Structures are given as structure tokens and as C-alpha cells.
Amino acid sequence: MLNEDVRKQFPILDQEVNEHSLVYLDSAATSQKPQSVINAVNEYYERYNSNVHRGVHTLGSRATDGYEGAREKVKHFINANSIKEVVFVRGTTTAINTVAHSYGRENLSEGDEIVLTKMEHHSNIIPWQQVAKVTGATLKYLPLQEDGTISLEDVKETVTSKTKIVAMSQVSNVLGTINPIKEVAQIAHDNGAVIVVDAAQSVPHMSVDVQDLDVDFFAFSGHKMCGPTGIGVLYGKQSLLENMEPVEFGGEMIDFVGLYDSTWKELPWKFEGGTPIIAGAIGLGAAIDFLQDVGMEAIEAHEQELANYALEQMQTIEGITIYGPKERAGLVTFNLDDVHPHDTATALDALGIAVRAGHHCAQPLMKELQVAATARASFYLYNSKQDVDKLVEGLRKTKEYFGDVF
Amino acid sequence: MSFNNLDTLYRQVIMDHYKNPRNKGKLEGDHITVELNNPTCGDRIDLQLKINDGIVEDAKFEGEGCSISMSSASMMTQVIIGKNAEDALKISKMFSDMMLGEEADTSEYKLEDLGDIQALQGVSKFPARIKCATLAWKAMEQGVEKEE
């Protein structure tokens, strides 16, 4: 397990909420930020705030170095082949929309198929629904197994020569399922399709290598990995990005502009119209430094231990339903019998424990699980077994409380 | 670890309406239907109103949601049945003011005349739950507007 020193670097965790020490179990929604990330963003605004890629003054070149330096860090972090493959965007949603509206519109036509899973976040469903509407392509969903996983047999059956795009999360934000991306990518490629991976819940928690996975597009958000909100990454293979049109046009992304036609900058800048998210990228760079200092393997092991411990402890609560497979990433989605998850979350909040309740932006999955909503506790490197103990104690109290009022 | 303030939110009467909802089900014959959901949390209400000559003759609801949203729906139907539609809207405005912690206009109706909905007053101290409490009322407002 990681030690207490990691937690101490997150100033926000040192406070009381509703007269109890804060127990933050909602990192799958957004993670907290270590002091070093907060400092990096502050330093940019206090010492070298300036626009990038233009002007010759000193602050401008420091800002450019900070922004492009962050891109370099991302490249190493996910093992991209080149910085040309690392596009800064607002977040996972924007990244997937960029692929859908550029690659999707250009390469899909009637009769083509897009294959998805039923555990996708709305951000990896709706862009494809929209593109399907304008291109005439159809969506096909891989079924979910009883335990919340997908089977490679089903992938082999569903992905055919009609398939042009396979869109899948690496880790489910509800079930915690870890999908076999490398194997699915292979099947997609064998059928001439590309794979688009929603990595929002994986990149913060495990080491990833986009070349080893052989993925075509890979999207993630900075704010879930100790970085600021408003910054995310679209990784794409250079050969694919090269042939794609930008989706946003304007400043920053142009080469030559004429009265009637214009040309674009080279990769990755042709996809970054407008003044970019400079402070966000610098903050993301600091977050990557922080995560690498702790070590991604250590983080993964820490969360694995927490998830196992939480599963074990939570299962001792009578009348709890836990969703998702046994082998999972660091989150547990659950419901208490006869207590609506909103009521559970409000009761836990009264004890200073922050969990998410609702449909987790996965309405089709909720339908599949036959529930309207669920509660979710999600862990990160700053959580401890004591946090899990407090959660379990809080859940017992919640049950008791609502049992009594009934 | 204790639930200091939870009792202000979960009063006995709320739990009673949650467990034994009044006017739950489907209306027969001619009526207006409004389906509303709270997209951030998945709460859903399907409200049916029978309005004749400006009077809310009957109301029933179906739906799924937390104790606050479902008990509020149950109480709301109880209050508006038999009232004229304009009064129902006035009461809805009072309720919304109460949720926002604002002074309600009590010139025509007093809170204590409105029966169980007073029990929801504590919700105003839990900002994240106000939307749960007002969902059914918004559906009712839309239903009345539909009729007009």
C-alpha cells in the first residue's frame, strides 16, 4: 500500500465536511489535485501567462515551452510514437466527438457498422448515434455477460467486414470491468475496422502503452488523473490523423489563409483551433510528473488492494447488491435494499463521505442492470483502508437509519 | 459517527408517503399526461391529471426515484385534487419559494393549510436535493399549462 505521505500532498483532503473528516470516494467523477499541480497552474498565471506559438517575447516562449513540454510528457506517459499523435482537447468527450465528426463522417456510409458495448459512458455512445444519423451507418451493441464483462467470442461474432469502427471503454466507470483492449483491437484490425478507446477511467489508474495495445484512437481527461479540468488528450495514429479534417477552424490551426480557401498547420496543431488550454496542459504535465514519481504500478497495486478490501468488507453488509465482475478496477457500484441511492449518498455525506449516486452517465447500462440509479464509491492513490472502513460503517448506519424510519 | 441533521430531511411523514404513496397508479378515461425526468440522477415521474372546467378532479402518478421525489409527488397530488388549476399553480409557487428558502406569499394559502408538504421544508437545507422535491410540481405545472 502507498503510505500516508501521498495523501498529505492533497490539501483538499485535510478538512472536515459536516463535522467529519472528509472521506473522498468520488475520484471516478473527478480526482483531487496535489499541491504540485496547483502550484504549476498558479506559477503559470503568476509568472509567465502568455499566448503560445506566436510573438517573440520571453514570456511567450516560456508559455510555449510549458505547453509543448506537457505534450512531450503525455507522449512518454502513454508511449505514443510522436508528439504529432498527441492532440490537446477539452476532455474525453471532445476527443471522441472529434474522431466521430472527422474520421466518422469521412469514412462511414450506409450499410457500415459501428460496434459498441452496453457499458459505455454516454460520451462514447451519443457521438456515434449522431454520426450514424448523418451517414446512414448502424450501431451494434456487444452483449454483456452476467458478471458485467464482454466475451471475445461475441466480439469475433459481432465485428465483421461491415464494421468500420469499434468504440469501447478500457475500464467501465460503473462496473469497473477492465476490457481486453489489445485483443479487441486485433479483431477490429483483422476486419479492417479501427478501434476508438475511451480511456478516461484507465489512464489515471494503470500504465498504458498505446503502441502495445495497437489502438487507433485513445481518449482521456486530465481532471481524472490529478490534473485540472478542461484539458484532455486525443491520441491518434499519425497515419489516421494525417488524413483527417479538423473539426474546429480559426486561429492557431492554420498555415495559409486566403479569401476563399485556407490550409492547415501540421499535426497535432491542425486539431487545436483557437488559443489552447495552456494552463490546463501545464497542470496536466505536472500531474503526469506526480503520478510517475509515485509510480503507476504502485498506484495500480494500491487501488487493487483497496478494491479487493472494499468488496470483501461491503459484502458483509446484509441487503447490499454489488454490480460488476470480481476482477475490477478501483471502484465499487452498489445499492442497499430499500434505500434509494440518493438517500444513501445524502446519508453518507452527512458523515463526511463523498460518493456518487445516479446513473453515472450510463443510462443504457442502468437499463441493462434493471435499476434506475446506483451508488458508487471510487478509489484513488490517496485513499486508505480506513476510508473503506468508514464507508462500510457509514453504510451500516445508513441501513439502520432508514430501517428505523420505515 | 452520527446523523446530526438527517432528521430534518427525513421526517416520519416523508417516509410514510414514500412507503405508502397516495394516488399512485394510472387514471382511466380522458386525462393529460406529463412525463418528466431529472437527467442528472435518473428520477422519473409520469403524472396524469384530469382537469374539468378549471378544476383538478383527479391526479395520479407513477415513477421511480428517491424518498424525497416520490413522497413529494404523493403529497402534491393530495394537495391539488379538488383545487382549481390556478390555485394549484399558486401553491406550486409557494412550494418552490419554500424550497429556495424564500418567503412564500401566504395571502391566500397558509403553509399549515397545505397538509403534509410542510414536512418537506427541511429539504431546503440540502441544496443537492431540492430538484428531487420539485420534480413532481414542475410536472404538475406543465400539465396545467397543457390544459390551458
Shared domain check, A179 and A109: yes
Nearest to A213 by CA among A405, A66, A79: A79
Is residue A284 one of the residues assigned to a domain? yes
Report chain A's mean pLDDT, rounded to a whole number.
96
Q: Give the mean pLDDT of A151-155.
A: 98
Q: Which chain B residue is nearest to residue A373, measuring alpha carbons?
A: B42
Is residue A35 one of the residues assigned to a domain? no
Q: Give the mean pLDDT of A109-135.
A: 97
Shared domain check, A200 and A95: yes
Q: Which chain A residue is nearest to residue B132, measuring alpha carbons?
A: A342
| Alpha-carbon separation of residue B88 from A175, B47, B69 (angstroms) | 43, 14, 18
Under DSSP, the state recorded for A48 is I
Domain end call among A247, A262, A292: A292
Q: Which chain A residue is nearest to residue B131, measuring alpha carbons?
A: A342
Q: Does A404 touch chain B (CB under 8 A)?
A: no
Grouping H, G, I as helix, E, B as strand and the rest as coil, residue B43 is strand
Shared domain check, A302 and A260: no
CATH number at residue A237: 3.40.640.10
CA distance B83 to chain A (A): 31
Contacts of A401 in chain B (CB under 8 A): 3, 6, 10
Contacts of A406 in chain B (CB under 8 A): 15, 19
Is residue A264 one of the residues assigned to a domain? yes
Shared domain check, A375 and A265: no
Shared domain check, A134 and A80: yes
> Could you give the number of structural domains in chain A?
2
Shared domain check, A306 and A285: no
Tell me whether residue A226 is one of the annotated catalytic residues: no
CATH of B3-146, one of 3.40.50.620, 1.10.600.10, 3.90.1010.10, 3.30.420.40: 3.90.1010.10
Cα(A175)–Cα(A179) distance, integer angstroms = 11
pLDDT tens sequence across A295-334: 999 999 999 999 999 999 999 999 999 999 999 999 999 9
Is residue A34 one of the residues assigned to a domain? no
Cα(A22)–Cα(A391) distance, integer angstroms = 11
Rounded to 5°, angle at Cα A284 from A270 and A267: 15
Residue A406 pLDDT greater than 60, yes or no: no
Whether B6 sits inside 8 A of A359 (CB atoms) is no
Phi, psi of A218 (to 5 degrees): -150, 120
Whether B6 sits inside 8 A of A347 (CB atoms) is yes
Shared domain check, A218 and A106: yes
Domain end call among A240, A260, A292: A292
pLDDT tens sequence across A14-55: 999 999 999 999 999 999 999 999 999 999 999 999 999 877
Q: Which residue has the cell 447488491?
A: A321
Cα(A152)–Cα(A389) distance, integer angstroms = 36
Under DSSP, the state recorded for A246 is P
Q: Does A359 touch chain B (CB under 8 A)?
A: yes
Beta bridge partners of A262: A257
Whether A372 sits inside 8 A of B44 (CB atoms) is yes
CATH number at residue A312: 3.90.1150.10
Show Cβ contacts of residue B127 under 8 Å, excluding neighbours closer than 6 positions: none
Shared domain check, A198 and A186: yes
Domain end call among A257, A273, A292: A292
Contacts of A340 in chain B (CB under 8 A): 65-67
* Full domain range(s) for residue A397: 4-26+296-405
